[in-house]
Amino acid sequence: MTRIVILISGRGSNMEALFKAADAGLLPVTFAAVLSNCAQAGGLKTAAERGIATAVIDHKVFPDRSAFDSALMAAIDRHAPDLVVLAGFMRVLTDAFVIHYAGRLLNIHPALLPAFPGLHTHERALAAGVKLHGCTVHFVTPEVDVGPIVIQAAVPVLDDDTPKTLAERVLAQEHQIYPQAIRWFAEGRLQITPPGRVRLQAKSRPALAGCVAPSLD
């Protein structure tokens, strides 16, 4: 089984979506640990209640980003993961960290990359007047929010949307596509081809790469 370590900074609803997919028999993974840079992260309690190992590595006690990332790497590697999943982990990672987990580090971003990398994506989408917004699961590379894209889901932007209503619509899709991406990873079906495209290898029938609002298949 694919061993997963999840990194969170907050409520952990994406993490919970992974738990639910696993409970439903749709995600063939073992949750080895959930780690956070923030002791107040609500998701830590959720994970602990499931009996999953949790730990806090508080970035504020380290002198710099590099020292924090070294400690985080040590905490992660203790669990020998096949895949590290960023699920609302709100820290920029050093190149050394990202390179250490090359090809086995996934992130979910609340926008249709390459549009709106960085923070406040829903506010920026509304300000730009886009008619479609969404979310992206991608492999992490040193440059923030530009790694190879695994899957995206789009939602309409409505005239009366606020950042909150748009965020809710996007989050519902995040909870669909992250389990799907991780399932594909666990099945060994994701291949990164130069210059950074992800190909979905067929299972028993031709795969639908780049589909919108996919289902677990």
Q: Residue with structure tokens 């899709």?
A: 173
Write down the catalytic residue from 59, 100, 109, 133.
Answer: 109
Q: Which is nearer to ligand GRF, 10 or 147 (CB)?
A: 10
* Whether 43 contacts 8, CB under 8 Å: yes
Q: Residue with structure tokens 């920029």?
A: 92
Q: Give the separation between CA 40 and CA 202, rounded to whole angstroms.
A: 41
Q: How far is the CB of 96 from ligand GRF (least distance, A)?
A: 22
At residue 146, the 3 state secondary structure works out as coil
Q: Which residues bind to ligand GRF, rule: CB under 6 A?
A: 8, 10-14, 87-88, 108-110, 171, 174
Cβ-proximal residue to ligand GRF, closest one: 88
Q: Give the separation between CA 16 and CA 18, rounded to whole angstroms.
A: 5
Looking at 78-143, list the stretches that DSSP marks H as alpha helix, in order from N- to C-terminal side.
95-100, 121-128
Q: Which amino acid is at 25?
A: G
Q: Which is nearer to ligand GRF, 63 or 115 (CB)?
A: 115
R_g of the chain computed on alpha carbons? 17
Q: Which is nearer to ligand GRF, 76 or 153 (CB)?
A: 153
* CA dist list (Å): 115 to 100, 145, 175: 27, 10, 20
Q: How far is the CB of 52 from ligand GRF (least distance, A)?
A: 15
Q: Does 109 qualify as catalytic in the annotation?
A: yes
Q: Which is nearer to ligand GRF, 87 or 198 (CB)?
A: 87
Q: How far is the CB of 167 from ligand GRF (least distance, A)?
A: 7
Q: How far is the CB of 108 from ligand GRF (least distance, A)?
A: 4
For 87, the token pair is 């699920």
Q: Which residues are catalytic?
A: 109
